[in-house]
Structure 1
Amino acid sequence: MQEKDITQKMLERHNDVFSDIVNVLLFGGKKVVEEESLFDTVTDSVLKIDGRARIQDRDVAKYWKDSQINIALFGIENQTNPDKFMPLRVVGYDGLEYTRQVRKECNGESKYPVITLVLYLGYDKKWTYPKNLFGVLDIDEELKPYVNDYKINLFEIAYLDREIIDSFTSDFWILADYLYQMQVNRNYVADKKSIGHIEELLMLMSAMTGDKRFEEVIDEANTKEVMNMCEVLDIVEARGIEKGIEKGREEGADLISRLNTILAKEGDLDKIIKANTDKKYRKELLEKYNLLND
């Protein structure tokens, strides 16, 4: 899980990816938030719980600014598995940012909203846990009128309409397309869409799929100036074939070595020579000594 968190953050920290996510999910694909208007902010906060310091860390957070004025703070939280306490977590993240605004020395500074997007990146099952505070809390009916509800902005990427997925223009489209295909077909067919951040995307694909080959081909993909996932998969496939051939050679050499050991114990030099020069005869001996079935 930790590796997935790290790789998701790496891709989303790029302003083109971050703004693309916000614009598609919040503004229907309109380019409301420009890349140049986003600025990184700290993602960790120190809390004191039961007398001990605890660090609460957002995945990615950026200020949306107009000149030097904050319009809003956007936060993105990634979830590969549903979390029933997600509303409580989001309340904590957003509340800390509002607390920072209260503590700022310049009282005349305008206050701005905090908006957290929860991206559910699972495709095996839908999110079935509550998406609001009331769904998590056990509230007495008499108290309910006095408790403020708090809903989370949760987006199940694999279950979005195809039209929405195709609204993404950054590398996030490749991830969304992968999740959608896996959810619908349990199979992924690559596209020729250009990749902007090859290393971050391949590390993310490696973490999401559990297939380390994506990460292993990063250097070769950079060297060959790979442009899309079709080319990436070509390299992955070529490496797989190469490894298969090499593995076959190693296994073949091991079988010959074991056969030579048996023949040496029998003391028949002619058999050893013929077994190492005649493939048909060698196969007959391998079958005779049951070495092919080990």
Structure 2
Amino acid sequence: MAEKDVTEKKLLDYADVFADIVNVTLFDGQRIIEERDLADALPRSVYKLDGKMHEQERDVAKFWKKNQLRISLIGLENQSEAEADMPLRVIGYDGAAYRSELNADKKGKPKVRYPVVTLVLYFGYQTHWNKARSLKECFDIPEPLEPFVNDYPLHVIEVAWLPDETIAKFQSDFKLVADYFSQMRKDESYDPMPDEIQHVRETLELLSALSGDDRFWESGKGVKEGEKFTMRSVALDKIEARGEARGEARGEARGRKEGIAAATMKIVRKMLTMKMPYDSIAESTEMPVEEVVRIAKESGLAY
């Protein structure tokens, strides 16, 4: 679980990705925040409970700064499932940040006041976020008391439900992530975008952690530092290249009499399990669409 948590944070911690997410989800794609204006913030804070000190940790947090002045602290939280207590968690993170500002004053440091913003990135694609979206929704509040209970809204970004025109505004690798979950929501099939990946391993590891599809993780392990690929070439071709090597080593899958190589057959079947469109499979493997359809039927993978 700890390894999975770390994996989910690595891509979003890049300044270009972090700035891109905030600019698109909050500012409709305007480049309000530049990556050079972001500085790492400590994700951990401490609180006291039952006489003992406990730690709580955000997923990713950065300061937005201009001329060394802090404008805001912005946090991102990843959720693959809706969580009923999320408003309580977020107010805990935000409250700790404000307490840190207050403590800085008491230590004689220059008085600093800046707002704190937390965005919850929800990657579920089968249902909308169906849990509490505000602090008040976490409680059964007696009616006479309700006007006096302060509320605290939760800012949930439902990634899979972002409009196509919004996804098109992303300029970082998060565009590929959002596109994957959007496609899976629509028909549970995936036709990779041709865009080049900047942070290859981190993007694939994030997709693997959030989707539960280990093929992304496996392909990420084979990427060398500095290599550049598109989602299609890494997520499909590189996986199958390793599959071909393993298959040849074991002497498996010789292919059909028509001369279709064993590796190509594996590529086609793997793409079929991902429910890629037949014409996209044909284009990627330079195979007639009719042949793809035939393989799908014979393999029991037709759709």
Pairing 1:55–2:58 present:
no
Shift of 1:245: 4.3
The alignment partner of 1:221 has SS state of: coil
Q: Deviations over 1:171-198 (max 9, x none)?
A: 0011100010111120111111011111
Pairing 1:93–2:55 present:
no
Contact 1:5 1:78 in 2 (8 A): no
Letter of the structure 1 residue corresponding to residue 242 of structure 2: R
Partners of 2:198 and 2:149 in 1: CA distance: 46
Counting only pairs closer than 5 Å after superposition, residues 159-170 of structure 1 correspond to structure 2 as 159-170=161-172
Equivalent residue for 1:35?
A: 35
Partners of 1:36 and 1:248 in 2: CA distance: 52
Partners of 1:244 and 1:43 in 2: CA distance: 45
Contact 1:190 1:229 in 2 (8 A): yes
Q: 1:200 aligns with which of 196, 199, 202?
A: 202
Letter of the structure 2 residue corresponding to residue 103 of structure 1: N
Equivalent residue for 1:238?
A: 241
Indicate the larger mover: 113-122 or 141-150.
141-150
Partners of 1:224 and 1:69 in 2: CA distance: 34
Equivalent residue for 1:65?
A: 65
Partners of 1:220 and 1:108 in 2: CA distance: 49
The alignment partner of 2:75 has SS state of: strand
- Structure ID, larger Rg: 1
What is the RMSD of the two structures over their aligned residues, measured on CA atoms? 2.0
Alignment size in residue pairs: 250
Partners of 2:45 and 2:103 in 1: CA distance: 14
Taking every aligned residue pair, what percent have the same amino acid on both sides? 44
Where structure 2 has 5 or more consecutive residues not aligned to the other structure, the ranges are 254-303
Shift of 1:226: 3.6
Equivalent residue for 2:218?
A: 216
Counting only pairs closer than 5 Å after superposition, residues 1-294 of structure 1 correspond to structure 2 as 1-104=1-104, 105-106=107-108, 108-218=110-220, 220-222=222-224, 225-232=227-234, 233-249=236-252
Partners of 1:108 and 1:241 in 2: CA distance: 62
- Cα 1:184–1:58 change in 2 (3 A) is same
Indicate the larger mover: 172-181 or 231-240.
231-240
Letter of the structure 2 residue corresponding to residue 74 of structure 1: I
Letter of the structure 2 residue corresponding to residue 242 of structure 1: A
Contact 1:39 1:64 in 2 (8 A): yes
Contact 1:202 1:214 in 2 (8 A): yes
Shift of 1:219: 5.2
What is the TM-score of this pair, normalised by structure 1? 0.80
Contact 2:198 2:228 in 1 (8 A): no
Shift of 1:70: 0.7
